[in-house]
DNA sequence: CCGAATTAAATTGCGCGCAATCGAATTGTG
DNA sequence: CACAATTCGATTGCGCGCAATTTAATTCGG
C-alpha cells in the first residue's frame, strides 16, 4: 500500500518475500520529520528577537497556561525528560525568564515559575503565532484536520 | 491545582488587539513537533539492531534509491546541510556503510557511495517500515491524507 | 589569462533530545 | 522503626541540526 502516487524512477519487481523499502518521499515518517524541521526554521527567526529557542517557547506556552509546575509536569506535557529540560530550564533561568526551586514539602520536586520578564513575553507570542499561521499557507479546516491526525498518530505511537 | 490568584496582567491591557497565545495542545506546530519525536522513539529501537540512527537511515533510503550522490544532493533531498551531513557521513563511513571520495572532475564535490554492507542493509529495512506502519494505528487512507498535507505544509513553509 | 565572485564541504560553537546512570528524598512493607 | 523499592531531578555521553565561518576548487568578467 503506497502512500502517494507511484514515483517516477524506481520500479519494484513483483513483491518478493520481503518488500523493498519505500522510497524516501513516500514515507510518512519523512513527511513528519521534514515538516517539523521546516516549522522550526520558520519559528527560529521569529523567536530570535525574543531570545528564545523553539523548545524554550514551548515551555513558556505551558507556563503561560499553568504557572508553577514541576519539571516532571513540563516533561509529561511536552514529551521531554529531565535530561533535556534541566539544562534548558537552567538557560531560561540564566536569561531571567523563570525561577527554579525545590518544593518545600517534597524536596525531590523542582517547581518552575515565571518571572515578570517571562510573563511579559506572552504579549509578543501572539504575533509569532499569527506570522506562522500565515506562513503555513493552509486554511483553517486543513490545519484542524492535520492537527487531529497528528495528535492521534502521536498518541497511538506512544502506547506502542 | 493551586489557588488561582489573579496574575498581574498589565500586558493584556497593554495590547488588546493582539490575541493571547493559543494553548500548547491547540497548536499545529506542537502536534508536528511531538509527533516527530514520537516517530523517532518508535524507530530508534527498530534501527538500533542495524546500527543506525534515524537520520542515517534516511541517508540510506536516498542511496538505496540513487547510489553515488554528492553531499549537496543528499542535503537537498533530506533538507539538511553539510554541517549536519559531514559528521554523520563520517560516522557511516567509519561503520563501513558508505564511502566518501572527491569527484575527480570537480574536486569540490564529495560523492557518497554504498559499500556492500550498506547495500545489504536494504533487505532489513522493509521489516522496519512494516513494524512502524503497524505501530502507527492509522489506516492507509488516513496516512495518505496526512502525508499529502504535511508535504504541502513543508513545501509551503519552505518558500516563505 | 588573472583576479573576483561563486560554489561545495568542512569546521566551530551551541542547543536540543535521549539513554543510562547517579544521588537524594519519599513511600511502602514488615 | 528499619529497610527495600520507588520517584524525581541532575549528570554524562553521544548524535543530530543549524548558523557562521573557513578553505579549497571552479567559474566568470575583464
Q: Does B102 touch chain A (CB under 8 A)?
A: no
Inside any domain, residue A95: yes
Helix (H) or strand (E) segment spanning residue B112: strand B110-114
What does the pLDDT read at residue A105?
95
Cell 506556552 locates to A61
Q: Does A145 touch chain B (CB under 8 A)?
A: yes
Q: Does B24 touch chain A (CB under 8 A)?
A: yes
ipTM: 0.89
Inside any domain, residue B102: yes
Inside any domain, residue A130: no
Inside any domain, residue B23: no
Q: What is the pLDDT of residues A139-151, one digit of tens each?
A: 889 999 999 999 9
Residue A2 has pLDDT above 80, yes or no: no
Inside any domain, residue A36: no
Share of chain A above pLDDT 90, in %: 75
Inside any domain, residue A55: yes
Inside any domain, residue B49: yes
Mean local confidence (pLDDT), A6-16: 42
CB-closest option in A18, A43, A149 to B142: A149
Cell 537537498 locates to B76
- Which of chain B's residues have a Cβ under 8 Å away from the Cβ of A45? none
Which bases on strand C have an atom closer than 7 Å to a protein beta carbon? 7-13, 15-20, 23-27
In a 10 Å sphere around its CB, with 0-12 CB exposed, 13-18 middle and 19+ buried, how is residue B5 labelled?
exposed
Protein residue minimizing CA–C1' distance to D25: B108
What does the pLDDT read at residue B19?
64
Closest CA to B143 of B156, B154, B132, B153: B132
What does the pLDDT read at residue B137?
79
Residue A6 has pLDDT above 50, yes or no: no
Q: What is the pLDDT of residues B68-120, one digit of tens each?
A: 999 999 999 999 999 999 999 999 999 999 999 999 999 999 999 999 999 99
Mean local confidence (pLDDT), A32-37: 97
CATH code, domain carrying B49: 1.10.10.10
Considering its fold, how many domains does chain B have in total? Answer: 1
Mean local confidence (pLDDT), A126-130: 91
**Which residue range is the domain that position B69 belongs to?**
44-125
What does the pLDDT read at residue A115?
98
Inside any domain, residue A151: no
Of the pLDDT bands very low, low, confident and very high (cuts 50, 70, 90), residue A116 is very high
Amino acid at each position: 500500500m503506497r502512500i502517494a502516487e507511484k514515483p517516477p524512477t524506481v520500479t519494484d519487481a513483483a513483491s518478493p518475500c520481503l518488500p523493498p523499502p519505500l522510497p524516501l518521499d513516500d514515507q510518512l515518517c519523512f513527511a513528519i520529520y521534514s515538516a517539523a524541521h521546516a516549522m522550526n526554521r520558520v519559528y527560529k527567526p521569529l523567536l530570535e528577537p525574543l531570545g528564545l529557542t523553539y523548545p524554550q517557547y514551548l515551555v513558556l506556552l505551558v507556563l503561560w497556561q499553568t504557572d508553577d509546575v514541576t519539571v516532571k509536569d513540563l516533561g509529561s506535557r511536552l514529551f521531554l525528560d529531565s535530561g533535556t529540560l534541566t539544562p534548558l530550564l537552567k538557560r531560561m533561568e540564566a536569561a531571567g525568564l523563570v525561577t527554579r526551586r525545590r518544593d518545600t514539602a517534597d524536596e525531590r520536586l523542582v517547581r518552575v515559575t515565571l518571572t515578570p520578564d517571562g510573563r511579559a513575553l506572552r504579549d509578543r507570542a501572539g504575533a509569532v503565532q499569527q506570522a506562522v499561521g500565515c506562513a503555513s499557507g493552509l486554511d483553517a479546516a486543513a490545519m484542524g484536520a492535520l492537527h487531529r491526525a497528528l495528535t492521534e498518530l502521536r498518541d497511538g505511537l506512544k502506547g506502542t
